[in-house]
Each structure stands twice: as C-alpha cells, then as structure tokens.
A = this chain, B = another copy of it.
Amino acid sequence: MASGSVEDLVETLRCLPGVGPKSAQRMALHLLQRDRAGATRLGEALLRAMEQVVHCERCRIFTERQPCRWCSDENRHAGEVCVVESPADVLAIDRSTDYRGRFFLLLGHLSPLDGVGPADLGLDLFENQLDAGEIEEVTLATNQTVEGLATARYIADLCARRQVPVLQIARGVPVGSELEFADGGTLSVAFAERSRVVG
C-alpha cells in the first residue's frame, strides 16, 4: 500500500492464528478505513497484556497478580485440583459446571517426540504441591486424545504413589447427540463405562 506502516501492519497481523496474507490485508484495510479507534484500543490492549500478564505461580493460569483470582478465591476448595491442558478449558469448565475447586494448567500435553516432558508441563511444581500435602483430590480433565490420555495416566501415577485420590471426567455419548452419529470409539467407551440405573 505504498506505506511502510501499512505493510508492517499487514505483516504483523499474520502472527494471529489462522490469519494468512489475504486476511491480514483485509483486516489492516478494514481497521484503517473503518475502525481506527478500535485498532488503537487493540494496540494498547496488546502491549498492556504482553507486559502485565504472567503465569500464576500456583496453577500456571494467565494472571496479572500472584496468586491468580482462582487460587486466591476463598470460596473455592484449595485442596481440590482439576488438571486441564489449556486456559480455554478453564473458561469452559467454569461456564458450564459447578466445580468449585482450583485448577492446574499443563499448557500442553506430554509429547516426547516434540521434546515436551513433565517439566515443560509444570509437573515438577505439581509434584511439589503433592509432596507438601496441598492437594487432597485430583480431577483429570485433559483432552480425550491419545496425548491427553497419556498425560492423564502419567499424572494419575504421580498421585497414586502418594495415595492422593484421582477422578477422571465421564466419557461417553455427548448430551443432545444421536447414537447413529457417535463414532465407534465413543460408543465403545459409553458401553464399557455404562452405569447402573436400577438395581
């Protein structure tokens, strides 16, 4: 666009996930033409967030203060810990369930081929909390993928060695879905883990 600033803007917009050269150009032109105030607010919000947001030293969630809102919430049971992979999982669980313990974020899953080991997931910190007796019960809510399940297995072992009870979230056919469209793996788990209703 004949202008270094505009080219820079298009180029830097590509750091957003899912934004390629065409979308970046469309976004830049949209902001310049129709929403300069919004773009200025976005620029300021980006700089402020990158400067001020850190990981909670206790649960690794994004926060501006130590400990984070979740870990310092006195209405939450500090001994109950739900282990999840990503911050988005925390938001989803908080929106939809009545879980009232705290969280522990892995920010990923075990992946030896990519060089992601237990320390990269903060599991040394988690073990310290187990050893210090800060954790009375663990709920595993990693993704139901091969990597997520392997990571859950690893954490369950850490807890078992210290006699800390571990729960896992229920697996089965999604609520509101039709059996016809459930995949085989889900259906198989739903039958293997069926529960008694009467008798």
A50 touches B36 (CB 8 A): yes
Task: Say whether A107 contacts B25, CB under 8 Å.
Answer: no
Question: With A and B bound together, what is the CA distance between A186 and B42 in angstroms?
Answer: 42
Q: Is the CB of A68 within 8 A of B3?
A: yes
Evaluate whether A49 and B28 lie within 8 angstroms (CB atoms) in the complex, with A15-B42, A44-B43, A87-B1 already known.
yes
How many protomers of this protein does the assembly include? 2
Looking at the assembled complex, report how far the CB atom of A17 sits from the nearest CB atom of chain B, in whole angstroms.
5
The answer to whether B17 touches A27 (Cβ under 8 A) is yes
* A31 pairs with B16, CB closer than 8 A: yes
The answer for the CA separation of A61 and B30 in the assembled complex, in Å, is 13
Separation of A48 and B63 alpha carbons in the complex (Å): 28
What are 16 A-B pairs with beta-carbon distances under 8 A? A2-B62, A3-B64, A3-B68, A3-B69, A5-B64, A6-B53, A9-B46, A12-B38, A17-B26, A29-B62, A31-B49, A32-B53, A33-B107, A42-B43, A43-B45, A47-B47
